Structures are given as structure tokens and as C-alpha cells.
């Protein structure tokens, strides 16, 4: 708005350096839009880190499953017959080998659970959004004076 031009909102020309209501509203809208975009970017960054942790836990679970299912048949026979060659009966040999694979699967499962427990809520995003909501709840415009209302309505030139 050019200096000296009347502000249609209140019928008076703004003082030097003073912004009109429209300019103030446009600036507030731009600031609020930038704040919302920043909050969204923060949420994406925090969620991205948690997704990486979740993928790590998922890969650990998958590896544990593959080890438990694919390796057990082949290595169990080899280990059981190796234990039998040391003097144990075939039954005890297979029991020892099966127990060893269960312990291995349990350890891999615990590793996966440890990765999953590291996943957290996006605390900074939640705090930022709550702070923004508090500011917006408490932000109240200055009440217009009777003279400003009369000027806006055209009662006073």
C-alpha cells in the first residue's frame, strides 16, 4: 500500500512505518504457515529415525527366523552325529543340538526386542505443536476503541 493512501478498513491513512491491518494479517498468515511447515518437517525427521529403528528390528527378526528355520535341519544332523561319535547316544545328541538352536533363536529375538524398545514418540514435535496451540489459544486481538469502530463504520470522517 502506498504511503498516504487510505486504509479501507478504518478510513485513515497509515502513519509512516505503520502497517495496515491487511499487511498485518498477511504477515501473521505467512508466519503461521511457516510455523506449520516447520512442525511438519520436524515430525517427518523424527518419524524417519523411528522407522529406521523399526526396520533394524524387523531385519533382526527376519534373520532370526531364517537361521532358526533353514539352518536347523542341516546343522542339526551334522552336530548330532558328531556328538554321537564322541560317545553320546543319538537321542541325547539330537536333544543337545535342538536346545542350542533354541537358545540362539532366543538371543536373536532379544536383540530384536531391544531394537523395538528404542522407538520413541516424536517428543519435540508434540511439544512444539502444543506450544503453538497454547500461543494461538492465548493470542487475542486488542479490542477496538469506540472511535476506531466509528471510523470503520464511516460515522466519523
Neighbouring C-beta atoms of residue 93, cutoff 10 Å: 21
The b-or-e profile of 124-134 (16+ CB within 10 A means b, else e) is ebeebbeeeee
- Please name the helix (run of DSSP H) or strand (run of DSSP E) that holds residue 31, with its range, or none: helix 21-66
Mean of per-residue pLDDT scores for the chain: 80
Residue 155 has pLDDT above 80, yes or no: no
Residue 88 corresponds to which cell in the numbers above?
553320546
Q: How confident is the model at residue 10 (pLDDT cuts 50, 70, 90)?
A: low
- CA 96, distance to chain mean position in Å, is 46
Which pLDDT belongs to residue 33? 83
Q: Looking up cell 520436524, which residue turns up?
A: 42
Model pTM above 0.75: no
**Rounded Cα gap, residues 35 and 6, in angstroms:** 32
Closest to 52 measured CA to CA, from 116, 123, 113, 122:
116
Amino acid at each position: 500500500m502506498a504511503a498516504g493512501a487510505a486504509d479501507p478498513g478504518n478510513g485513515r491513512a497509515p502513519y509512516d512505518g505503520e502497517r495496515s491491518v491487511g499487511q498485518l494479517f498477511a504477515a501473521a498468515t505467512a508466519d503461521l504457515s511457516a510455523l506449520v511447515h516447520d512442525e511438519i518437517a520436524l515430525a517427518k525427521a523424527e518419524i524417519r529415525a523411528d522407522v529406521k529403528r523399526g526396520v533394524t528390528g524387523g531385519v533382526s527378526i527376519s534373520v532370526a527366523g531364517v537361521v532358526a528355520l533353514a539352518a536347523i535341519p542341516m546343522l542339526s544332523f551334522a552336530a548330532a552325529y558328531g556328538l554321537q561319535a564322541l560317545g553320546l547316544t543319538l537321542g541325547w545328541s539330537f536333544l543337545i543340538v535342538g536346545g542350542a538352536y533354541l537358545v540362539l533363536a532366543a538371543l536373536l529375538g532379544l536383540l530384536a526386542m531391544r531394537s523395538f524398545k528404542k522407538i520413541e514418540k516424536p517428543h519435540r514435535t508434540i511439544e512444539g505443536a502444543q506450544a503453538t496451540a497454547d500461543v494461538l489459544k492465548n493470542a487475542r486481538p486488542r479490542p477496538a476503541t469506540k472511535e476506531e469502530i466509528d471510523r470503520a463504520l464511516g460515522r466519523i470522517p
